[in-house]
Amino acid sequence: MDQIEPVSRVLAVLAHPDDVDFGAAGSVAKWVSAGTEVIYCLVTDGDAGGFDPTIPRDQMPSIRQFEQAAAGKIVGVNQLEFLGYKDGELEVTTALRRDISRVIRRYRPDRVLCQSPERNYTRIFSSHPDHLAAGEATLSAVYPDSRNPFTFVELIEEGLEAHSVKDVLLMAFPEPDCFEDVTGTFDKKLEAILAHASQHPDPSRIEPMVRGWLEAVAASAGLAKGSLAEAFKLVRT
């Protein structure tokens, strides 16, 4: 089992607001408290989300951006980028790869956190088509796009030099190989998830559901009973 080594800067690239909170907010809170700088990049504004039909759909992007900013502050993340792609229609395009490469070159992270491009049949809800597309586009942006100075030369013209990311952590990978004990940051994770109020018609079900997931992950990692953990696939790049 690989260890998640500390790094100075992590860029998290996710398809929707709240994806990072369900998948990794406990780890993010732990990393930030240890001195790691974390930046969020949201590919879509989550405009197809929500449950209340009385909310005008044109208001949903701003609502979800506000909620993600609030959730980020809870775990210590204050830098966010929104790429503005359409929720539910995400595809792996050259334009998306370029836009993610731009963010990578701008922030020059040691590590990128993103979603798995492989469908997880045991947790199908984690394999939303947007998640798969965002994961594939992000991995392509990490290698080869952001490190190749001859790819997307317009970024060089913008003053964004090529940058090599050291490694990638994939969320919701079918066979994870590294784990983060988040027992001590679970409360922050839960608070961050609940900050996305527009997505929770019954907030009372969130705590037992998420706790159950993390207990199962901790057990699979061989951690002590009562521990909570988040799981990742480490890709050295």
Q: Which residues contact 150 (CB under 8 A, 6 or more apart)?
A: none
Q: Does position 105 have pLDDT exceeding 60, yes or no?
A: yes
Predicted model pTM: 0.97
Supply φ then ψ for residue 181, to 5 degrees: -75, 115
CATH of region 9-236: 3.40.50.10320
What distance in Å separates the CA atoms of residue 194 and residue 135, rounded to the nearest whole number? Answer: 24
- In whole angstroms, how far apart are CA 47 and each of 27, 122, 186, 216? 26, 27, 27, 31
Q: Of 221, 233, 229, whose CA–CA distance to 172 is shortest?
A: 233
Supply the pLDDT for residue 125. Answer: 82
- The pLDDT tens digits for 52-65 are 999 999 999 999 99
Instruction: Output the CA torsion sign for 4, 232, 189, 59.
Output: positive
CB 165 within 8 A of CB 142: yes
Q: Which residues contact 59 (CB under 8 A, 6 or more apart)?
A: none
Taking the domains of the chain in order of start, what are their residue ranges? 9-236
- The pLDDT tens digits for 153-183 are 999 999 999 999 999 999 999 999 999 999 9
Q: What's the rounded mean pLDDT across residues 33-50?
A: 97
The two three-digit tokens of residue 112, written as one number: 């990128």
Supply the pLDDT for residue 124. Answer: 86
